[in-house]
Structure 1
């Protein structure tokens, strides 16, 4: 059996024992997002320390809580596989006397990371505070959070790119990091942000800066965070907040969140599977994200 097959079997075996019905989907989402790309298709008997580290290291410093939870879940799946006779030997995901020699303790790096990405459990509270801020830059930050888009994508947005009838924002390829056109389904909350901007607009840019015909500075949203005394956060970090929410708190497939973030698909198999942009499926996800943020 592959690791992913074992993960499915483990979740099925324990589903009824978990008090929270969403727990099983959170397990599935976390393992699909972070473990599967590293070793999900590998025979579970061949999963070793090197492969476990491949899954953990990229997020150990920046998403410590998620990474620590992921390690525990990998360890449990591998323990299940050993008990079932699908593998033998020591568990490569165990912490004491093993991974603790390769990775810093989670508690030791939380202070170093300064929580640049807001925990998704605090998104509602933060958005409520942000809504009290006046000006175009706070509106731009709300829009960036609700769409999970990058700073330059948001401040460069023009009215010509936005179709209010179909609630779609089409970002041209030349403004995308991957050089590929990206369609963003706009939730009612995101449309409301735009509705608040429209009466004040005379130019092409949705979030026009102090100079007519020019967009906001790329520091404008960061300055909002400074005014809110949230220098522990970054604008880009809200993309990680969205990603963590999708993986930990929902049962949306991994590819939907990756599409929403306009990440380049590295696997040829996955790229072939994702020929479309999954726009309508992503729309439901963004509506639920807005609801989580308290901006329905």
Structure 2
């Protein structure tokens, strides 16, 4: 806010309990009066020095009069303009961090603490490359709109997610006093998202299983368990041997790894056990699916590209998460009650809520196992159907070869 400062004006300024307010003096360029929420009033000098915007604290109103502050501001301005300014003058320098500096700080102090998918959040925030060099207090709404437009051209849904994460980051900066106002608060998503409805057909499931056979360990086997169990990609990809009780045929997913923060048990069916018993074990490694023994598999984007090439030409676009919806949809058709399906998927859907949810500790253990066996039988039928044409073709080739000889 631009204002000709006077002693009377300063004395009569009342604090705003919701934010601090800056008044820029019209008499001496760069002199700013800040009225904090607590009521304290501080003089400072704002100027771009060596290419970076600096806030130099002069002193608090009272000990420093307006005349003293203007004199000090003129002195600093003279030293800056003549190239004689030095940071060891005893004046406090408060340089605002840039967005690229704030992102890792936000990830460490907030995202890693509260979000299990913090890596995804970090990746989306890093898409705002055109804003990374801007000071956090210089990021404007128009800048964000322009950056989101660029991201939207490549990935509309990712643009919405990136914007949501940036909004939260800016709100976090407000809470920590880095900025006074979130410049993109209330900014709407760039495009309306349609809920996904993609369900893979039996033929597509069979073709995908055959493609996973060709892919082998670790990605092919990991995808097979995704299809058979209906669990989330990260939860299966990061599966540990210590979570598996192969004698009791039970996989216990700890709350630390579950997306909703709840411990979850998944029955290990015969089909799932058949996949797991063939998986090689790395020495001194707890990861089931790994290429190094030190970390779980990654690079599902490249895997997806390979699987798409292996599927029939003209297959409708799909994503790995569609496998969960496919299982859920088929279970409904197979007569599995919804609460059992929700328990198997480890969903928080409101089917059981409120006080009932607190006391309903029944885990549907037997029902989940029966339901998963039903689903695995469905996948097995689809797999056999997919293999029949290949067997027929190989038989025809063999017959042709025998005839020619």
TM-score band by shorter chain is 0.5 to 0.7
- 1:232-274 Cα shifts (integer Å, max 9, x gaps): 22111100000110112x1111111111111014242663684
Question: Which secondary structure does the structure 2 equivalent of 1:142 belong to?
Answer: helix
Equivalences for residues 139-150 of structure 1 within 5 A: 139-150=221-232
- SS of the counterpart of 1:244? helix
- For 2:347, which of 235, 248, 263 is the aligned residue? 263
Residue of 178, 194, 198 corresponding to 2:276: 194
1:215 to 292, 296, 300: 296
In the alignment, does 2:251 pair up with 1:169? yes
CA distance in 1, matches of 2:316, 2:275: 24
Please give the residue correspondences for 1:18-167 in structure 2 after superposition, counting only pairs within 5 Å.
Answer: 116-120=198-202, 122-167=204-249
Question: Which residue number in structure 2 is paired with residue 7 of structure 1?
Answer: none
Q: How many residue pairs get matched?
A: 182
Unpaired stretches in structure 2, ≥5 consecutive residues:
1-193, 385-405
Is the alpha carbon distance of 1:147 and 1:233 closer, same or farther for their aligned partners in structure 2, counting shifts above 3 Å? same
More strand by share: 2
Residue by residue, what CA displacement relative to the aligned partner does 1:97-120 show, whole Å, maximum 9, x if unpaired?
A: xxxxxxxxxxxxxxx999743135
The answer to whether the Cα contact below 8 Å between 2:327 and 2:375 also exists between their aligned partners in 1 is yes
CA–CA distance in structure 2, aligned partners of residues 180 and 195 of structure 1: 27
Q: Provide the residue aligned with 1:59 in structure 2.
A: none
Deviation string, structure 1 residues 13-70 (Cα, Å, up to 9, x no partner): xxxxxxxxxxxxxxxxxxxxxxxxxxxxxxxxxxxxxxxxxxxxxxxxxxxxxxxxxx
In the TM superposition, what is the alpha-carbon distance from 1:282 to its structure 2 partner?
0.6
SS at match of 2:266: strand
Contact 1:117 1:234 in 2 (8 A): no
> Between Structure 1 and Structure 2, which shows a larger proportion of helix residues?
1
The structure-2 alpha-carbon separation of the partners of 1:278 and 1:176, relative to structure 1 and needing over 3 Å to count, comes to same
Establish whether residue 235 from structure 1 lines up as the match of residue 320 from structure 2.
yes
8 Å Cα contact 2:229/2:372 also seen in 1:
yes
For 1:262 and 1:292, the matched residues in 2 are separated by 21
1:283 counterpart (369, 382, 385): 369
- 1:246 is matched with 331
How many angstroms does 1:228 deviate by?
Answer: 2.5
Structure 1 unmatched ranges of 5 or more: 1-111
SS in 1 for 2:239: coil
Aligned mates of 2:306, 2:344 — CA distance in 1: 24
Aligned-CA RMSD value: 2.7
Change (3 A) 1:176 1:224: farther
Distance 2:357 2:203 in 1: 31
Q: Distance in 2 between matches of 1:161 and 1:218?
A: 23
When Rg is computed on C-alpha atoms for both structures, the one with the higher figure is 2
CA–CA distance in structure 2, aligned partners of residues 175 and 227 of structure 1:
32
Counterparts of 1:227 and 1:148, CA distance in 2: 23
CA distance in 2, matches of 1:273, 1:238: 31
Q: Partners in 1 of 2:256 and 2:196 — Cα distance?
A: 33
TM-score in terms of structure 1 length: 0.55
Go from structure 1 to structure 2 and tell me whether the alpha carbon gap of 1:151 and 1:263 turns closer, same or farther (over 3 Å shift).
same
